[in-house]
Chain A
Amino acid sequence: MKSIKFAFGISLFAFAAATGSAHADKMTLYCSAQEDWCQLMARSFEEATGIDVNMTRKSSGETFAQIRAESANPKGDVWWGGTGDPHLQAAEEGLTQEYVSPMRDQLHDWAISQAESAGNRTIGIYSGALGYGYNTDLASANNLPEPSCWKDLLKPEYKGHVQMANPNSSGTAYTTLASMVQIFGEDEGFEFMKGLHANINQYTKSGSAPIKAAGRGENTIGIVFMHDAVKQAVSGFPIKVVAPCEGTGYEIGSMSIIDGARNLDEAKKFYDWALSPEAQNLALEVNAFQVPSNKNSETSPSAPDMSQIKLIDYDFAKYGSSDERKRLLQKWDEEVSTLPQ
């Protein structure tokens, strides 16, 4: 039985080690962008300021759930990245706090209007347009015509070849739903979603999963943000990116300071730094092809050229609000997702 005591002792030691640690200047970052970008942001901020960053990466939906669950006793300081809607929703529920950064006059108008629509509780850090990409190998293997518009995706030959995320779990897919409603009008938009449903082979959990599956050859067409599709193409996967001809919606990746942040000063420092061109240029190092919000930041030559894409006048205030969101999602759940495929 000595050995059991021994094992137990080791366990207690490990337990003690696991529960203890101490740090001086630090902040906690909830990051909803891609992992390597998150890592790079955290490390670069540490180098620039000497403030220790605890970073957790989760999708924007998961982060939003966590912030809401922790609202009585917040653990995080800054929420950086991820599509803007959950940030707006958090602002609406008072989960994030107001802050006007001195960096604001360097930003593009769309970033500032994002802040204004949320009472300065959030701000735009990058933007990206919605579109889709397809695997050229699979498309030619299955003799599929090249799609170029949203409505092309409704053609019967694409049956079982299209993938998008579930709007209930993904900000990207909700943006798709809201964009269709804005492009085609609500009734026709839902007719489009129903037609699309017939061709969908799977609703994924994560927003960018469809194009990743397409890259690996597990799927043909993925409806995603174009910068995600570009990234797959740049990584060497046979992906062609399409900016649909009818025009398209877009997201504004956002950043917010969590209400009740324990390290407010450090949080503000991070916030200002994240809006600077130096911080935003880091995106290029990790193949993030979104358009940065600071006018002085560089854009990648591989990034979709926002001026060439027909962007709709996306109503972030309306479609980012909880009520509209719930209504659309419920309608999609009841009228679209239950249809036979």
Chain B
Amino acid sequence: MRNVSVENTGLSVLIFWIAAGWAGFCLLPWYGIEDGFFSFAWLLDGYPLDEDYAPAAFLIAQSEKMWLAPLIAPLLAPLFVLRRRKSDPVYSATLILAGGLGFAWLIAQGFGIGIRGFSYEWLNAVFGELGDRQFGMGYGALLVATAFLFLFTQGIAARGAINGDVFVVSAIGGVIIIVATFVFFPIVRMLVAAFVTDGGHYSITVFVSKFFDDRLWGLGCFWGARCGAAWNSLFLAVLVGIITTGLGLVFALVVTRSGFRFKRGLRALTVLPIITPPFVIGLALILLFGLSGSVTVFVSELFGIQPTRWLYGLPGILIAQTLAFTPIAFLVLIGVVEGVSPSMEEAAQTLRANRWQTFKTVSLPLMRPGLANAFLLGFIESMADFGNPLVLGGNFDVLSTEIFFAIVGAQYDQSRAAVLAMVLLFFTLTAFYFQRVWLGKKNYTTVTGKGDAGVHPLMPRRLSFPVFAVAGIWGAFTIIVYGMIVYGSFVELWGVRNTLTFKHYITAFSVGWTEHGLHWSGAAWDSFFTTIQIAAAAAPLTAAVGLITAYLLTRQTFAGKNAFEFGTMLSFAIPGTVIGVSYILAFNVPPIEITGTGIILVVSFIFRNMPVGVRAGIASMSQLDKSLDESSLTLGANSWQTFRKVILPLLRPAILAALVFSFVRAMTAISAVIFLVSAEYDMATSYIIGRVENNDYGLAIAYSTTLIFVMLSVVALLQFIVGRTQIGRRTQFATRT
């Protein structure tokens, strides 16, 4: 590709998408296949003529589903411009019209005609009863829609948008469409529900009465009663954001700017909580500090204090969330702290600043984007966290659990859940806004094309003592918690019969031989394999979408960029419970019918975790000087080549962070998953919850311990595949090109 001229590349891309459109229309089954596309049973079962499996072209040829016929025109149109030059206005106009109209018609027919004929009354009124119906779209429709989208973006690019850069325009178009489909569409469906009364009508008063509910905004905790969930959530999230950012910075400093010997061990220790399934930290805390916990009993016997339930409520959630989210802050900050150029610090020291002054006035301000991002992530994670408040919350209600109760509770109050979700969204977006204001428009670029040689200075002594103290205490605490977890998985019945046993592992993961060969007889295998598959599918996709979005946000300017950024961050600000229910509402009915499949799990993970990829990418990319891209572009590379050959290799830390985070989150997430798992696709976390609910802590902890080790090895494998950071500081000998 590298030697092909830009003009020819453009043509081959165009031909590819035209061909893809026709293949989707004539070859692939148009509608979703109930037994799954990849079983390929449909190939032998009446394809291509059977109505359930037929491609659109065969349907039309049999005079079925005639509303698909108009799609032929926009598929034909681009063929006529193949011989025209790109600069020809007819070229761009044809592609824009064909792509746009084709896509619009596809959407319109999908929403207009559902499983009961026309979906809207007015369509019945205008056209009469349809007498036919259609199910969810399948791979044929998906491919045609994709083809239309990219024909459209090529048309836009040909008109000269973004310097006629097809890759950038297509990437923007692609991200917009998938975010609109899998973030905005379900959320709009959900928020509309905020105004719906019991009778199914729309009403503002319902919204107002639910919004100003005392359970939400009450300030009773100042006089003995309870505060509203909104205040609780806000208070908790601010605390967690500050503490996790501080701890994350501490660890990043220890790892990069100290002579600390056990850096690798510390690094592993900080990664542990992130690969821990939800509930497990909570369970371990209960076993340690609960009313009958080991530490509680020990302390109460030692000092004769009456044991209390102090853990249940704000303190417990705070401890658990701090343990769980500090690693996220660490992962964000390590890239930033490593990325701060030593030249700047050297310059400061040359100017006779001491180490403390250098740190305070140079290093720390340069870490601002990282600090702001870490705080924002901690804040949002805490707001959306569901597992810890559920186990440790006691009577400390927070928004995310309230939303869950509003939806699964006996009241089944969707509109209340939607109102609560709006409040949550308001908080997270406000935090997002303040982060932007604080960062301002300053420049944080320190990795430039210019050579810099140097090693990061050590931390100032004034800083290193408290930093080591905090890191040490935290490390010891983490070791104790995890020691308890491992120990707990071998104990027969915690607190009652403390004999050691392999019973729980055998129940979960036994393997037997039968006449058919290997038999996975353990209770946990089904959910385990599903979880690995889903996580392996979701992680690279998440990283890809996240980094491309980050690239667009930091490197390109285009109209509506702020809205674009807002849109891509939105899914992170929405708690998983809401995502779960909104996905069920939006994707249980045609045109996109994916509930009960593995796809919906993969999709929910991609869009739940994409913002982390975006933030990690932005944080790293804002440190890469634009002159790097510019020189690549000046030397004749197009933007895709620049992205691949220049930016991507420099982004290895961000790629690794995104891959690790999304894989791990896919294996440990719970809040959205609990709504989306189905009989065939049960996930490890929902299985573990079942065990926890059943007081079967042994099995739950044994399963979680296994998952921790699986994730550890996967993280190590990913680190090996993606490779180590190569920013080219003196610690490494040479940079690879």
What would 13 more interface pairs be, CB under 8 Å, given A15-B537, A75-B595, A203-B395? A17-B38, A29-B679, A54-B680, A65-B412, A69-B584, A138-B291, A169-B410, A201-B309, A205-B390, A235-B493, A333-B215, A340-B223, A340-B224
Q: Decide yes or no whether B544 CB sits under 8 A from chain A.
A: yes
Contact indicator A338/B225 (Cβ below 8 Å): yes
Contact indicator B225/A339 (Cβ below 8 Å): yes
> Interface-forming stretch among B85-93, B199-207, B528-536?
B528-536
Interface 1/0 per residue, A40-72 and B, CB below 8 Å? 000000000000011111110110111011101
Of chain B, the residue at the smallest CB distance from A228 is B695
Which residues of chain B are near A167, meaning CB under 8 Å?
410
Q: Decide yes or no whether B334 CB sits under 8 A from chain A.
A: no
Instruction: Give A237 to B695 CA distance when docked, in angstroms.
Output: 11
CB-based closest 8 A-B pairs: A20-B38, A54-B679, A217-B292, A18-B598, A15-B537, A22-B39, A20-B36, A340-B225
Q: Decide yes or no whether B713 CB sits under 8 A from chain A.
A: no
Known contacts A11-B541, A66-B584: A174-B680 contact under CB 8 Å? no
Instruction: Give A66 to B596 CA distance when docked, in angstroms.
Output: 11
Contact indicator B411/A205 (Cβ below 8 Å): no
Contact indicator B497/A19 (Cβ below 8 Å): no
Contact indicator B536/A216 (Cβ below 8 Å): no
Known contacts A15-B537, A85-B410, A325-B410: A35-B394 contact under CB 8 Å? no
Instruction: Give A1 to B645 CA distance when docked, in angstroms.
Output: 9
Instruction: Give A29 to B678 CA distance when docked, in angstroms.
Output: 10
- Tell me how far the C-beta of B629 lies from the nearest C-beta in chain A, rounded to whole angstroms: 17
For chain B, the bracket of interface size reads 35 or more
Q: Decide yes or no whether A301 CB sits under 8 A from chain B.
A: no
For chain A, the bracket of interface size reads 35 or more
Which residues of chain B are near A59, meaning CB under 8 Å?
408, 693
Instruction: Give A160 to B306 CA distance when docked, in angstroms.
Output: 13
Listed A/B pairs (15) with beta-carbon separation below 8 Å: A4-B655, A11-B541, A15-B602, A20-B40, A22-B39, A56-B677, A64-B412, A72-B588, A138-B292, A168-B405, A206-B693, A216-B290, A216-B495, A237-B496, A338-B218
- Which A156-188 residues have C-beta < 8 A from chain B? 160, 166-171, 174
Choice from B35, B214, B494 contacting A338 with Cβ under 8 Å: B214
Contact indicator B674/A209 (Cβ below 8 Å): no
Q: Decide yes or no whether A299 CB sits under 8 A from chain B.
A: no
Contact indicator B589/A73 (Cβ below 8 Å): yes
Known contacts A68-B412, A73-B588: A21-B536 contact under CB 8 Å? no
Instruction: Give A216 to B401 CA distance when docked, in angstroms.
Output: 24
Choice from A86, A169, A212, A237 contacting B405 with Cβ under 8 Å: A169
Instruction: Give A73 to B594 CA distance when docked, in angstroms.
Output: 11
Instruction: Give A86 to B394 CA distance when docked, in angstroms.
Output: 25
Contact indicator B536/A338 (Cβ below 8 Å): no
- Tell me how far the C-beta of B680 lies from the nearest C-beta in chain A, rounded to whole angstroms: 5
Contact indicator A75/B412 (Cβ below 8 Å): no
Interface 1/0 per residue, A189-217 and B, CB below 8 Å? 00000000000011101101100100111
Choice from A7, A12, A216, A326 contacting B411 with Cβ under 8 Å: A326
Which residues of chain B are near A72, meaning CB under 8 Å?
115, 588-589
Q: Decide yes or no whether A28 CB sits under 8 A from chain B.
A: yes
Contact indicator A28/B218 (Cβ below 8 Å): no
Q: Decide yes or no whether B659 CB sits under 8 A from chain A.
A: yes
Q: Decide yes or no whether A146 CB sits under 8 A from chain B.
A: no
- Which B13-33 residues have C-beta < 8 A from chain A? none
- Tell me how far the C-beta of B612 lies from the nearest C-beta in chain A, rounded to whole angstroms: 17
Q: Which of A18, A21, A237, A340 has the most CB of B within 10 A?
A: A18
Contact indicator A65/B533 (Cβ below 8 Å): no
Contact indicator B395/A202 (Cβ below 8 Å): yes
Which residues of chain B are near A58, meaning CB under 8 Å?
674
Contact indicator B408/A217 (Cβ below 8 Å): no
Contact indicator B533/A171 (Cβ below 8 Å): no
Contact indicator B36/A202 (Cβ below 8 Å): no
Instruction: Give A59 to B291 CA distance when docked, in angstroms.
Output: 27
Choice from B530, B534, B588 contacting A69 with Cβ under 8 Å: B588
Which residues of chain A are near B589, meaning CB under 8 Å?
72-73
Contact indicator A70/B595 (Cβ below 8 Å): yes
Which residues of chain B are near A235, meaning CB under 8 Å?
493, 695
Which residues of chain A are near B588, meaning CB under 8 Å?
69-70, 72-73, 75
Instruction: Give A39 to B37 CA distance when docked, in angstroms.
Output: 28
Contact indicator B581/A69 (Cβ below 8 Å): yes
Which residues of chain A are near B726, meaning CB under 8 Å?
none
Which residues of chain B are near A22, meaning CB under 8 Å?
35-36, 39, 41
Instruction: Give A237 to B312 CA distance when docked, in angstroms.
Output: 22
Instruction: Give A84 to B718 CA distance when docked, in angstroms.
Output: 49
Q: Decide yes or no whether A10 CB sits under 8 A from chain B.
A: yes
Contact indicator B695/A212 (Cβ below 8 Å): yes
Which residues of chain A are near B223, meaning CB under 8 Å?
340
Known contacts A18-B533, A75-B678: A65-B37 contact under CB 8 Å? no
Contact indicator A19/B694 (Cβ below 8 Å): no
